[in-house]
Structure 1
Amino acid sequence: MAQTQGTAQGKGVDRSLAGLVGRAFGRLGRAGGLVFLLAGLALSGWGAYEGAYLAGWAGTHGTLTVKQCEVSYPNNASRSHRKDRRPIRCEGSFVPDDGKSTDAGAAVQVRQRYAPGTELSVQQTSAATTSTSADGDYVQSGMDRAWRFFSAFFGGWVLTGLGVFCLATGYAPFGRSRISFDAAWEAAGRGVTRAIVIGMLGVGLVGAGVSFLVSYFV
């Protein structure tokens, strides 16, 4: 009798413990989904922002006439990292296409040195505060680089789709999950979650792949 009661109590403790573990992993799955969702939105926003400027769709387009170019290392870069990246900063005068708000102290980060007098197609992302200050921001225009950022934009859709799936079902894609993938996928099919996830993953993967490939042909 005592042994039977002890066994029943043990099973009760086991079920209670299993329930606690299950709820914990359910929360872990949704927490991971939130991380995926935020990371995806951030990646897509960053890719769209940078890509729009590099493609010339945002900001003010104009010409920067190079005065000098020099290697510019970030202050916090390690010696090996400096040797690998070797960023180049070209300074000169910027003239927008409309001929207004010129900047004689413009500077832009580029991938190679240019001879003095070279005219670079650049995009002004923010204007200088005054006509004599050198605090304007510029990027070198180029559709090849723009398409790579668009690839990152679509890559963010993949992370966002995974985030939606994990948030909606509680599935944890890492470690031990409270709910199996098959059960989570079946649950997602009862509403619009599965269609949303498939759509986002499909658009993200195809868009990222096509954008990356196009960057090598433009």
Structure 2
Amino acid sequence: MARTQGTGSGTGIDRSLTGLVGGAFGRLGRAGGLVFLLAGLVLSGFGAYEGAYAAGWAGTQGTLTVQQCEVSYPSNASRSSRKNRRPVRCEGTFVSQDGKSTDSNAGVQVRRRYAQGAELAVQQAEPPTAEGQAEPPTAEGARDAEYVQAGMDRAWRWFGAFFSGWVLTGLGVFCLATGFAPFGRSRISFDAAWEAAGRGVTRSVVIGMIGVGLVGAGVAFLVSYFS
């Protein structure tokens, strides 16, 4: 009898531990889903913002005449990142296409160095006013403006990032809705999570977002390669 009680007590403890572990991994899956969702939204938003300026759909079109270009690395950058990434900032004078906006202290991040006197096609992002609205392109307002190097090849790369964000967002929605953790040990299997997602609109939303994201990103990066 004592042995039976001991076995029952041990089984109860095992079940409690299993429930705690399962609940912890369920929360971990939803927390991971939230991270994927936020990362996807940020990536899509940033890609759309930069892509619109690079394509010339937003901002003020103009030319930046290079005075100097500098390569700078973060102090904690590794040797491999220093070799594979060259963050270059070129500074010079910006003049808008209509001649109404000038900035003698303009600067733009680019992928390589340019010689002094080189003319770069850039888009000026007008600085916001106190009310949050964009200022008109004036000589005074240009001093606080940011600049993006223009070009459809760059724009398509940013649009690729925009669609890549859809993939992360779709994965985040799936994990949030089902509790599935795509990394490490999960409380539920992928098959069970996929079946649960099919009981509502979750599966259709996830398939649509990931499908559009993969196709859009693939087309955008392919077009940028041949641009």
Q: TM-score, normalised by structure 2?
A: 0.84
Unaligned runs of 5+ in 1: none
CA contact (8 A) 1:73 1:82 kept: no
The whole-number CA distance in structure 1 between the counterparts of 2:50 and 2:143 is 21
Cα offsets for 1:63-106 (capped at 9, x unmatched): 2234x223342563659455654544443332212321222332
Q: How does 1:96-135 map to 2 (within 5 A)?
A: 96-110=96-110, 111-116=112-117, 118-126=118-126, 131=140, 134-135=143-144
* Residues 88-126 of structure 1: CA deviation (Å, up to 9, x unaligned): 44433322123212223323333231342x432111123
Residue 92 (str. 1) matches residue 92 (str. 2): yes
Are residue 138 (structure 1) and residue 139 (structure 2) matched?
Answer: no
Identify the residue that residue 185 of structure 1 maps to in structure 2: 194
* In the alignment, structure 1 residue 194 sits paired with structure 2 residue 194: no
TM-score, structure 1 as length reference? 0.88
Contact 2:62–2:95 under 8 Å retained in 1: yes
Distance 1:158 1:47 in 2: 13
Look up the equivalent residue of 2:94 and give its one-letter code: F
Q: 1:130: Cα distance to partner? A: 6.3
The one-letter code matched in structure 2 to 1:73 is: S
Aligned equivalent of 2:223: 214
Distance 1:26 1:146, change over 3 A: same
CA-atom RMSD, angstroms?
A: 2.4
For the 8 Å contact 2:126–2:142, the answer to whether it is kept is no
Is the Cα–Cα contact under 8 Å of residues 100 and 139 in structure 2 kept in the other structure? Answer: no
Between the aligned partners of 2:142 and 2:217, the Cα distance in structure 1 is 39
Per-residue CA shift, 1:35-79, capped at 9, x if unaligned? 11111111111111111111111111112234x223342563659
SS at match of 1:199: helix
Equivalenced residue count is: 216
Aligned to 1:13: 13
Once the 2 structures are TM-superposed, how far is the Cα of residue 191 of structure 1 from its aligned partner? 0.2
